[in-house]
Structure 1
Amino acid sequence: MRNTLKNFAMGACAILLSGNFHLASADTSSDTEILLNWAENTYPSYFPTHQVTQNIDPWIFRHYPDTGIYAGINKNDGNVYVMGGPWGDNPAIISPLTDLIAQINNSGGNGGISACNTASAPAGMTYTQSGNVVNVTTNGRCIPLPTSNGFCQIPQQSSASGISILTTSNITSSAINGITITIPGIPNPFQSLVNNFASGKHCTVNAPAESTNLIVNSDICFDITNALGSLPESIPGILTITPPITFALKDTVTSQTVADCFATDAETIYNAFTNEVWIKKDGSFEKVN
């Protein structure tokens, strides 16, 4: 397998993956998304700009018109193929998809999403993309609470795109387990805390074109025991604490193009070209860097 990957890279490199994520087993379609995202991130000279995955039986593939290269998987034999550019006019077999996914899982690579900067994503969080939809999951496990609620951070851009994107988070469901307040009429304050962590509106100036109309679906769970600091003892009839304390969340973040971020009701604004950040304070935006 090591020789396969070495020859793959040296022979004009191309189509596989890597990431700081411990990916759970997935079906062919999701593994293909991971593979092709890795190819785009790792070998942009062959796979420039994010392309939509196409499905024409038995092929799942992406076409890169700038280089004339096709890359994908044949569902009948489970192998990865590339065609065009240095690979010529006929599909060239690379390796079984399962072998490449296993190698990626063991090596730790970047199977991130073109429209998202996933470099600082916590271990255990998996990203896949199909068209303009990004799915983020912790695969049914609860991982330590990250310091940021931006699970699809827009990467800094090398030039000004002139595109402004407003994102809105809509919580589908949320549940906190391990801590319960049983006083009638008093809501669980920890539930409000974690809901505020996940919700909000944010706007990006000079966003990449891939962010236009992007939809990010999250199905994640966090262990927030340490994040809550020192907890009081359980109080019979009032407070029940049974660590670990976890927070499960399902939400959808939608994006829309706007004329001016500063004319929106966003809570924060980020300029993806200059790396500047503004936070709304007392009704106006205040620059913080």
Structure 2
Amino acid sequence: MKNTPKKFAIGIYAIILSSNFNPAFADLSSDTETLLNWAENTYPAYFPNHQATQSIEPWLFRFYPDTGIYAGLNKGDNKVYVMGGPWGDNPTIVSPLADLIAQINNSGGNGSIPACNTANAPAGLTYTQSGNVVNVTTNGQCIPIPDSNSFCQTPQQTAASGVSMLTSTNVTSSAINGITISIPGIPNPFESFASSFASGKHCTVNAPAEATNLIINSDTCFDITNSFGSLPTGIPGVTITPPVTLALKDTVTNQTVADCFATDAESIYDAFTNEFWIKQDGSFVQIH
């Protein structure tokens, strides 16, 4: 047991020394979340039971009461420290944050929060979790629109959980910026696209227990200019001023149900078998 903390530090340094990299400017808050999530997923003996990140200048950190360990970033020097438990009462430097993030990304490390698989999440999305509430944001920036409107992918399950979970999305606000239609009597068709992008219901069979009763709040902005291809110009009543962006705020709620196939979901996914169904003409049809 005495050598285990050394293995943790050595494991991180081995990743750093295994390849060359060019550190880039990083969003400290987002990268700190990624690092601490990775630490929880990789070393649960030291960082058990997902904890919310706290901020006390100049620190962004998490405290794990079960082990008495602190882990976090000092924004003064952008280095990662650990303290408590086997590391003692004084902060111990692990490495610069940028170095660790680069190597986690290069090695395919899992920086997901417990409730969501965010491995394929687009760059620019920040995830935080406190209890059963997940917050997803682009921090006021507009990022390229992702292929999927699901920002909290269900982690693959290694065993059948027997839990069925219905996911519903409520769009609280949506707006298309960069396209204005001022033709009397004709509504802006792009506004309906904004609402429909995030709407819908989905059901998951064999869902993970930590995803039940989950609430996901999103405050995001996406650059959708390229989604329209070559935008026409000179159309009377239509003004296009790139970039064209989609701003969305919505709340996703999960609730357990007895049978996904008896719900009004538009699609069903089995997180254990990877089977997938969509509703066609009132019935669910399996997609192969």
| The two structures share one fold, judged by TM-score above 0.5 | yes
* CA distance in 2: counterparts of 1:92 and 1:127, whole angstroms: 29
* CA distance in 2: counterparts of 1:188 and 1:6, whole angstroms: 61
* Structure 2: 5+ residue stretches without partners: 14-23
Q: Which residue of 1 aligns with 2:136?
A: 136
* CA distance in 2: counterparts of 1:272 and 1:178, whole angstroms: 39
**Residues 97-136 of structure 1: pairs in structure 2 closer than 5 A:** 101-109=97-105, 110-136=110-136
1:119 is displaced (CA, Å) by 1.3
**Residues 130-279 of structure 1: pairs in structure 2 closer than 5 A:** 130-236=130-236, 238-279=237-278
* CA distance in 2: counterparts of 1:267 and 1:22, whole angstroms: 40
What whole-Å deviation, never above 9, does each CA across 1:103-152 have from its counterpart, x for those lacking one?
44444544321221111111111111111111111121111111111100
1:227 is displaced (CA, Å) by 1.0
* CA distance in 2: counterparts of 1:82 and 1:235, whole angstroms: 65
Residue pair 1:136, 1:220 contacting (<8 A) in 2 also: yes
1:101 is displaced (CA, Å) by 3.7
Count of aligned pairs: 262
Residue pair 1:144, 1:223 contacting (<8 A) in 2 also: yes
Q: Normalized against structure 2, the TM-score is what?
A: 0.78
Q: Which residue of 1 aligns with 2:69?
A: 71
Equivalent AA in structure 2 for residue 158 of structure 1: T
Question: Runs in 1 of length 4+ with deviation above 6 angstroms?
Answer: 74-78
Matched, 1:24 2:27: yes
Q: What SS class does the counterpart of residue 275 from structure 1 fall into?
A: coil
Residues 265 and 31 of structure 1: CA distance in aligned 2, closer, same or farther (over 3 Å): same
Residues 124 and 22 of structure 1: CA distance in aligned 2, closer, same or farther (over 3 Å): farther
* CA distance in 2: counterparts of 1:187 and 1:201, whole angstroms: 26
Q: What SS class does the counterpart of residue 140 from structure 1 fall into?
A: coil
Equivalent AA in structure 1 for residue 70 of structure 2: G
1:62 is displaced (CA, Å) by 2.8
Equivalent AA in structure 2 for residue 156 of structure 1: Q
1:81 is displaced (CA, Å) by 2.2
1:62 to 57, 61, 64: 64
Q: Normalized against structure 1, the TM-score is what?
A: 0.78
* Seq. identity, %: 62
Residues 104 and 191 of structure 1: CA distance in aligned 2, closer, same or farther (over 3 Å): farther
Residue pair 2:142, 2:222 contacting (<8 A) in 1 also: yes
1:10 is displaced (CA, Å) by 2.6
1:209 is displaced (CA, Å) by 1.1
Equivalent AA in structure 1 for residue 276 of structure 2: V
Across the aligned residues of Structure 1 and Structure 2, the Cα RMSD in angstroms comes to 3.3
Q: What SS class does the counterpart of residue 192 from structure 2 fall into?
A: helix
Residue pair 2:32, 2:73 contacting (<8 A) in 1 also: no
Q: What SS class does the counterpart of residue 61 from structure 1 fall into?
A: strand
* CA distance in 2: counterparts of 1:159 and 1:125, whole angstroms: 29
Q: Which residue of 1 aligns with 2:92?
A: 94
Residue pair 1:22, 1:124 contacting (<8 A) in 2 also: no
What whole-Å deviation, never above 9, does each CA across 1:134-192 have from its counterpart, x for those lacking one?
11111211111111111001011000111111111111111111111111222211221
* CA distance in 1: counterparts of 2:214 and 2:285, whole angstroms: 27
Residues 12 and 223 of structure 1: CA distance in aligned 2, closer, same or farther (over 3 Å): closer
1:71 is displaced (CA, Å) by 3.4
* CA distance in 2: counterparts of 1:229 and 1:139, whole angstroms: 26
Residue pair 1:128, 1:135 contacting (<8 A) in 2 also: yes
1:278 is displaced (CA, Å) by 0.7
